[in-house]
Chain A
Amino acid sequence: MRFIWTVAWRLLREGRFQTALILGGVTVGVAVVVYITAIVNGLQANIIDRTLSAQAHVVLRPAERLNQRGSEPGDVLTLADVRKRTQREATVADAATVLATVRAVPGVAAAAALAAGPGVAQQGGVRKAVVLLGVDLAGYQQVIRLDDKLREGVLALPAGAALIGSELAADLGLSPGSRLRLQSAQGETLSVRVAGVLDYGIQDLNRRRVLLPLRDAQSLLGLGLDVTEIDVRAERLFEAEALAADLHRATGLAADSWQVANGQLVTALRSQSASSLMIRVFVTVAVALGIASVLVVSVVQRQREIGILRAMGTPRQRILGVFLLQGALVGFGGSLLGAGLGGALAVGFTRLARNADGTPLFPIVLQAELFVSTALLATAVGVLAAWLPALRAARLDPVEAIRG
């Protein structure tokens, strides 16, 4: 409607000071929202990325076996006496069938069988406790990315080869081509050649993890053809919990999602998201109140003009539309300015906050989606905030408005 556009635009242009005030408020508010969202999203994506780079989204293990106490005749009834049994025999016997079942579950991107167990690495009289991890390298890489972790050597696991963590390599003075003696808790030993050195970005893994071909690990750990766990990569990271439940139902194995395995991290991320949401909500409310209060003043100041417009036959809805559109315009305009300012602040932050080596602490996530949703939200908030002033303007009695 041209009347509404023309009048709304002219009134905004005419009331320069008020318009600047409102625009400034919306700009700052939107900038805060964009900045906080970008920083928090960047931080969280970075933390999750680092955490999950060496972890499966869902890990399937044999269900724990519990002692079931049969009921006994007698005076004393023990309701429960549940103790863990040793988990020695807790293995998955039919890995191929289970893998096929797992891969058929919707939401599973990839799955790999592992044979894991404790062991000791020896080299020149130095002994280090390690975790022996037998994998089919091709299948395992579909679950855990390794090519970005290779520091030295090659990413290959022929029989008799091993891929070791970078700290273990340093501790034992190993480099690709070195030989290494592995001993399992079962007493089996195996001499392997280091094919490559991996940096997982996590000290514990760098110090302890030894990747072996699945067959080598199985014989070293005395597992026969059994495996000890199935690692799964989910198609959607944040649906891993639901996927774990589905996998448990499908296989009968205990299924733990990365969220369960990293409970504290997930709690921390959730509370961070919650507080960033709170900040955004309160900033939005403050912006809405700002828009509303300036528009209320504007309506009072222009009440005589509104009265004249009503007297000459302007329908109430058109007056209402003028002020709602003003709210939408300042919301939209402020969101454009604010998105620019917030984006610039976030980029500036990554320039300032750097690691010792000069790389950014974490990458900022500036998605077009964030800008679009913020612009829509700010426009909607502008319209909502303008409701009260607009209603007030539309309900003005022309006689009283003109009398002033």
Chain B
Amino acid sequence: MAEVMRLQGVRKAYGGGASPLVEVLHGIDLTLPEQAFAALVGPSGSGKSTLLNLIGLLELPTAGEIWLAGEPVHAATDTVRTALRNRYLGFVFQFHHLLPAFTAEENVLMPVLAGRGSVTSDDRRRARALLERTGLGTHAHKRPVQLSGGQQQRVAIVRALMNRPRLVLADEPTGNLDSHTALDVFALLRELNREEGTAFLIVTHDPALAARCERRIAIRDGRLID
């Protein structure tokens, strides 16, 4: 199967200059095929967040190569990475991070608006269909504060999928939810992975959830372990 993301010998160090150079990632090789549904697990301080930021094109590696959808991105400018994020990637954060000034539907449309500057009626139809698909059809015009935690996280997931990304990066998407809601949300991620054909990389602390993924990527002390 074709790959969506490939990392080769990726290193990331912070500091330098006056402060000592600290290497957080010591040569990561990782390939994610299209439509993958993978968990990324590891203790705090293992370099998990840094790896996610590199894959999410939010940071650049100190050394090594990163390829997204066949394009080299390890030395891309901020402008290029911004455009690539908008086109190929979706983000789900632990604290959902919806924009409180906008309704659920507007939050879902935001990646389109942010990337293109305007939305079409097709975009609205897709946003509405995704919200209905996830059981939020009646909440489309509510503000985030009017929604429960689980509902907010589902809006955030729908938002991540709005631009039909190749890969969705989810940072502890259920970390903030009770166990029952967490299972629901996780199940939704799995279903959307199949329906939309989008690859998912999910950071989680929960071994039970990690076990439900197709693949488990473990990281410790800046190295991937099997």
What are some 23 contacts across the A-B interface (CB < 8 A)?
A1-B118, A2-B119, A3-B113, A3-B114, A4-B117, A6-B113, A304-B97, A308-B97, A309-B114, A310-B82, A311-B58, A311-B85, A312-B91, A312-B111, A312-B115, A314-B82, A314-B115, A315-B82, A316-B78, A316-B82, A318-B117, A399-B53, A402-B93
Please tell me which stretch of B24-32, B99-107, B181-189 contacts chain A, meaning at least 4 of its Cβ atoms lie within 8 angstroms of it.
B99-107
Indicate if the CB atoms of B79 and A312 lie closer than 8 Å: no
A310 to B117, CA, bound (A): 14
A13 at the interface (CB under 8 A from B): yes
In contact, B86 and A312 (Cβ under 8 angstroms) = yes
Between B53, B59, B84, B117, the greatest number of chain A beta carbons within 10 A of the residue's beta carbon is seen for B117
Which of the listed residues A6, A10, A310 has the most CB atoms from chain B within 10 Å of its own CB?
Answer: A6
Of residues 304 through 329 on chain A, the ones whose CB sits less than 8 Å from some CB of chain B are 304-305, 308-316, 318
A283 contacts the other chain (Cβ, under 8 Å)? no
When distances are taken between beta carbons in the complex, the residues of chain A under 8 Å from B59 are 399
Question: What interface size band does chain A fall in?
Answer: 20 to 34
Contacting residues, chain A, for B211 (C-beta < 8 A): none
CA distance A313 to B113 in the complex (A): 10
Minimum C-beta distance from A12 to chain B (A)? 9
Is residue A357 within 8 Å, beta carbon to beta carbon, of the partner chain? no
What secondary structure prevails in chain A residues at the interface with B? helix
Q: Is the CB of A10 within 8 A of B102?
A: yes
Give Cα A29–Cα B6 distance, bound, in whole angstroms.
Answer: 57
Residues of chain B within 8 A (CB-CB) of A310 are: 82
Tell me if B205 counts as interface (CB < 8 A to partner A): no
Is A11 in contact with chain B by the CB < 8 A criterion? yes
Q: State how many angstroms separate the Cβ of A46 from the closest Cβ of chain B.
A: 50
Residue of B nearest to A313 (CB): B86
Q: Residue B110 at the A interface, CB < 8 A?
A: yes
Cβ contact within 8 Å between A398 and B58: yes
**CB neighbours of B102 from chain A (8 A):** 10
Task: Report chain B residues within 8 Å CB of A315.
Answer: 79, 82-83
**Distance to closest chain A CB from B77 (angstroms):** 11
Q: Do residues A312 and B101 form an inter-chain contact, with CB atoms below 8 A?
A: no
Binary flags per residue of A1-31, CB closer than 8 Å to B gives 1, else 0: 1111010001101100000000000000000
B222 interface residue per 8 A CB criterion: no
- B110 CB contact (under 8 Å) in A4, A309, A398: A309
A345 CB, nearest partner CB in chain B, Å: 35
- Do residues B78 and A2 form an inter-chain contact, with CB atoms below 8 A? no
Residues in A lying within 8 Å of B, measured CB to CB: 1-4, 6, 10-11, 13-14, 304-305, 308-316, 318, 398-399, 402
Q: Complex formed: what's the CA distance from A2 to B110 in Å?
A: 11
12 new A-B contacts, CB < 8 A, other than A311-B85, A314-B114, A318-B114, are A2-B118, A10-B102, A11-B101, A304-B97, A311-B58, A312-B85, A313-B115, A315-B79, A315-B83, A316-B79, A399-B53, A402-B93
- Tell me which residues across on chain A come within 8 A of B93, comparing CB atoms: 308, 402
A14–B84 alpha-carbon span in the complex (Å):
30
In the complex, which residues of chain B have a beta carbon less than 8 angstroms from the beta carbon of A312? 85-86, 90-91, 110-111, 114-115, 159
Contact B85 A14 (CB under 8 A): no
Which chain B positions have C-beta within 8 A of A316? 78-79, 82
A398 to B93, CA, bound (A): 13
A305, B113: Cβ atoms under 8 Å? Answer: no
Tell me which residues across on chain A come within 8 A of B90, comparing CB atoms.
312
A226 to chain B, nearest CB (A): 79
Name the residue in A3, A312, A316 with the highest tally of chain B Cβ atoms < 10 Å from its Cβ: A312
Q: Which residues of B contact A399 (CB under 8 A)?
A: 53, 58-59
Residues of A within 8 A of B100 (CB): 14, 305
Q: Which of A2, A3, A308, A402 contacts B99 (CB 8 A)?
A: A308
Checking B99, B101, B111 against A313 with a beta-carbon cut-off of 8 angstroms, the contacting residue is B111
Residues of B within 8 Å of A314, CB to CB, are 82, 86, 114-115
Question: Cβ of A318: which chain B residues have Cβ within 8 Å of it?
Answer: 114, 117
CA distance A308 to B94 in the complex (A): 12
Identity of the chain B residue whose Cβ is nearest the Cβ of A310 in the assembled complex:
B82
CA–CA, A14 to B117, complex, Å?
21
Please indicate which of the listed interface residues A1, A13, A304, A314 has the most CB atoms of chain B within 10 Å of its own CB.
A314
**In the assembled complex, B220 has its CB within 8 A of some CB on chain A:** no
**Chain A residues whose C-beta falls within 8 Å of the C-beta of B79 in the assembled complex:** 315-316
Tell me, yes or no, whether B87 is within 8 Å of chain A by CB.
yes
Q: Does B47 contact A (CB under 8 A)?
A: no
Query: A13-B101, A316-B78, A402-B97 given as contacts; is B91 within 8 A of A311 (CB)?
Result: yes
Chain B positions within 8 Å of A3 at CB level: 113-114, 117-118
- List, in ascending order, chain A residues with CB within 8 A of B117's CB: 1-4, 318
Give complex CA distance A312, B163 in Å.
10
CA distance in complex: A398, B102 (Å): 20
Taking a contact as CB atoms under 8 Å apart, the answer to whether B82 and A305 are in contact is no
Question: Taking the nearest CB of chain B, how far is it from the CB of A113, in angstroms?
Answer: 71
CA distance A358 to B102 in the complex (A): 57
Centre residue among A3, A11, A305, A309 by max chain B CB count within 10 A? A3
| Alpha-carbon gap, A267 to B56, bound state (A) | 68
Nearest A residue to B162 by beta-carbon distance? A312
Pairwise interchain contact B82-A313, C-beta atoms closer than 8 A:
yes
Docked complex Cα distance between A6 and B119 (Å): 12
| Chain A to chain B: the 7 pairs with minimum beta-carbon distance, closest first | A313-B86, A14-B101, A314-B114, A10-B101, A313-B85, A2-B118, A3-B113
Minimum C-beta distance from B220 to chain A (A): 22
- Asked whether A313 lies within 8 Å of B97 as measured between CB atoms, the reply is no
